Chains A and B, each alone.
Chain A
Amino acid sequence: MTNAYDMGRRQSATVGDSLERQGITRRAFLQYCASIASLMALPAGAAEQLATALAKARRPSVIWLSFQECTGCTESLARAHNPSLESLIFDLISLDYHHTLQAASGEAAEAARDAAMKENAGKYLVVVDGSVPLGNPGYSTIAGIANIDVLRETARDAAAILAVGTCAAYGGLPAAQPNPTGAVAISTLIKDKPIVNIPGCPPIPNVMTGVIAHYLAFGALPELDGLGRPRAFYGETIHDRCYRRPFYDQGKFAETFDDEGARQGWCLFKLGCKGPVAYNACATAKWNGGVSFPIQSGHGCIGCSEPNFWDAGSLYSALSMPASPVTLGAAAAAAGAAAGVAVTFFNRRKKAAAKAGHETTTLDDLEK
């Protein structure tokens, strides 16, 4: 990994140099570029251009901050099933600080962060996983420094921030009701830097590296949607691209996880699949080196890349399903009947009064 000592050497290298030194073949690199290009729906031939641009790009300094998180996002990246591709991330960047991965510890670790910030002021990228607690600064600290302070300090001279994972992007699990730590998303705290949200629990490794590759190759962050996500990866719902979609259109649904429909691979909508409301690339990029994704293994999408998905009702009740209407319906019926009976009581009294007030009309009474 990296340390303060050899940081300077690494800074000077281009991506191409680094690849060469690591013994990565051009073929493997091109394969990686092709997968990123297809994921971002770039036109044909773009992979070659991407590879050329990437090889020439200078490796940026990256400071990785982990706050209230589970390290799943790092795991997603570091322990990818097929390390030869996704682990390329570590050859694209100069990872100067990551408290889980770095060898250095204690003061040396923090010194590495300081050094990287000073040397690359205005140019380094900050990757954040995890949310920041606002309830009490002591809830989460690194080297005795509250998360919020680390974030503010590190973000000050950053070129951009990548909020990786649903916690960093939207608050995630720590922010789920009742949100005991007062957890907030990175974008809540930092307003003056470009922030790319890469939500998911965890995000797809290729999407994380793809954003960095885009930044390196094109010198700019990708186009974002209203929720700060790169459109290239989060432009469509899982449902849109799901291979089980035809079954949905035909109205063929698995009713339980072990029925004939489930065995036939029918749509999991009724079992609570959140595919229709989850914007992510799982159905196309897939996981574990393109092997599968949750729906393919027979479980509905839980919509983990959507804001507040933890609080969006049961993972296993269908999207069109309300919470608990039957008891309420009975109560409403009783209340409605009571209201109707009450109105009728007064209506009948009023009508009876009108009748009692009837004066038999004579011919004279036809005139005013």
Chain B
Amino acid sequence: MSASLDKGVRVLKEMIDAPIASYFSSCVHCGICAEACLFYTETSDPKFTPIHKVEPMRRIWQQEYTLLGRLAKLVGLAKPVTDEELGKWKELVYDSCTFCGRCSAVCPVGNDIVYMVRKMREGMSAAGHAPEGLKGAVTRTINIGSPMGVKLPAVKAQMKHVEADYGIPIPLDQEGAEYLVTLSSMEIINFPEYLGAIAKIMRHVGKTWTLSSEAFEATNAGMQIGNSDLARVIVARVVAGAEKLKVKTVISPECGHAYTALRWEGANLIGRPFTFKVQHIVEVLDEFRAAGLLKTEGMETDRLSFHDPCQLARRGGVIQPQRNLMKMVAKEFVEMPEAGYMNWCCGGGGGASSIEEGEYLRIEAFQVKKRQLDAVKPDRLVTACANCRIVLEEGLEHYKMNLPVVGLTETIAEHIPDPE
């Protein structure tokens, strides 16, 4: 019960670094970031212009870290950041930003705006201006173990189902396994076929793997809410689990932000480099393919397209592997316009999908996805992020589009030949 404006401002002062100072100094208000942001293009509301979302942080930088700004503050010419103002900014910093990073990809002066929004959330959460939905998710993750409240027994129950359905044993806490497979709670509850697909593929390629009873959950609501202290607690569980089981590689599930949390933020959160490798499942599968271990049979005959999760592609650097895999199993693989590096977000990334009051925005923003899909009219949409999948399904339902969304891993697994 200690969140306050002072705390928020102090945290922002801690966050502001040379890149942020450089970005603020470079902005020429050209408005191009707005044209890249689905919340602006689909609502035409200029307040959703990405650089505007970090305006309070800009003023803190100016007033605290520039000589002229300090002088202005001294003589009372600077407009201080108020608690009320931060309250107003909640919608801009959380509801209408999915960390998709299109703004950072287009800014002509090179500003990484989403990097700033991520830091801005640190201050917002410390000032008590995080959305209720995200607070709930992070509370459940810290207290229960997963943002959806899933506990180990639920995982074990799911494991049993999968073992029964696929006839393959699911290893748990197996020390020395090569791969530690982590899950998103979405996969545990809504998409158990993911776990089955992993089991099938791992048996097929002959690799050892395991789940961990303390590190089954890969998602990180602490990162989404923008609080490094809480994000550290969550990521530390995975690190502890991986190190305890001495695995070589931790596989991030079909979840975009879990990949960012583990692959890019994790080591920085715990303050030391990892002793293991982190890979997204799509990278792992593509490695198996390249090594000739992964052999599929048969092709999907309907028209398939792939939705690139932002954190995997634009913010994660994984763009080609999913295409290699799609081509293994799809006869007719069509790319949506701007697919890959510049793909449009589903509208619910970065924790936005947990924010109830932002739902109308997600629905509005989905129109751009609809246009992308209408351009190529696939029969089915494949993706590699459970959160994208849920948000896409919601949007498709709202716009009455009859288009099934499936995971890439399970699509590949369906083409793994049964063992002799």
Contact assessment for A339 and B126 in the assembled complex, using a CB-CB cutoff below 8 Å? no
Q: Return the chain A residue nearest B65 by Cβ.
A: A347
Interface residues in A323-354 by Cβ distance below 8 A to B read 339, 343, 347, 350-351, 354
A365 touches B3 (CB 8 A): yes
Contacting A367 at CB < 8 Å: which of B10, B128, B142, B229? B128
Docked pose: A351 CA to B65 CA in angstroms: 9
Residues of A in contact, count (CB < 8 Å): 19
* Contact among A343, A351, A360, A366 with B14 in the assembled complex (CB-CB below 8 Å): A351
A229-267 residues at the B interface, CB under 8 angstroms: none
B125 within 8 A of A: yes
When distances are taken between beta carbons in the complex, the residues of chain B under 8 Å from A359 are 2, 7
Chain B residues with Cβ below 8 Å from A347 are 64-65
Contact A354:B10 (CB < 8 A) given known A364-B2, A366-B135, A367-B128: yes
Q: Is the CB of A343 within 8 A of B67?
A: yes
Contact of B3 among A339, A343, A367 (CB under 8 A): A367
Chain B, interface residues (CB within 8 Å), range: 20 to 34
Interface centre among B13, B138, B142 (most CB of A within 10 A): B13
CB <8 Å contact, B139 and A368: no
- B298 shortest CB reach to chain A, Å: 49
Question: In the complex, what distance in Å separates the CA atom of A360 from the CA atom of B14?
Answer: 13
Considering the chains assembled together, what is the distance between the CA atoms of A355 and B1 in angstroms?
Answer: 21
A226 within 8 A of B: no
Contacts of A22 in B (CB 8 A): none
Q: Which residue of A lies closest to B12 (CB)?
A: A354
> Once the chains bind, are B14 and A358 in contact (CB under 8 Å)?
yes
- The answer for the CA separation of A222 and B360 in the assembled complex, in Å, is 79
Report A-chain residues with C-beta under 8 Å of the C-beta of B230.
361-363
Contact A366 to B67, CB < 8 A, known contacts A351-B14, A361-B230: no
Docked pose: A305 CA to B47 CA in angstroms: 61
A357 proximal to B (CB < 8 A): yes
Contacts of B11 in A (CB 8 A): 354, 358
Mask, A190-201, CB within 8 Å of B = 1, is 000000000000
Question: Is B372 in contact with chain A by the CB < 8 A criterion?
Answer: no
The chain B residue with its CB closest to the CB of A357 is B10
A361 CA to B124 CA in the complex, in Å? 13
Known contacts A354-B10, A358-B14, A361-B230; decide if A368 and B128 are in contact (CB<8 Å).
yes
> When A350-B65, A366-B128 are in contact, do A355 and B3 touch as well, CB less than 8 Å?
no
The CA-CA distance from A358 to B126 in the complex, in Å, is 10
> Given the complex of chains A and B, what is the CA–CA distance between A347 and B21 in angstroms?
12
| CB-contact partner of A368 in B3, B14, B66, B138, under 8 A | B3
* Contact in complex: B13, A361 (CB < 8 Å): no
Pairwise interchain contact A350-B13, C-beta atoms closer than 8 A: yes
Give Cα distance in the complex from A361 to B227, angstroms: 8
* Contact A355–B14 (Cβ < 8 Å): yes
Chain B residues, Cβ within 8 Å of A355: 14
The 9 closest A-B pairs by CB, nearest first: A368-B128, A354-B13, A361-B229, A354-B14, A360-B229, A368-B3, A343-B67, A347-B65, A365-B2
Q: List 22 A-B contacts (CB under 8 A).
A: A339-B67, A343-B67, A347-B64, A350-B65, A351-B14, A358-B14, A361-B126, A363-B142, A363-B143, A364-B1, A365-B1, A366-B125, A366-B138, A366-B139, A366-B225, A366-B227, A367-B1, A367-B128, A368-B1, A368-B3, A368-B4, A368-B128
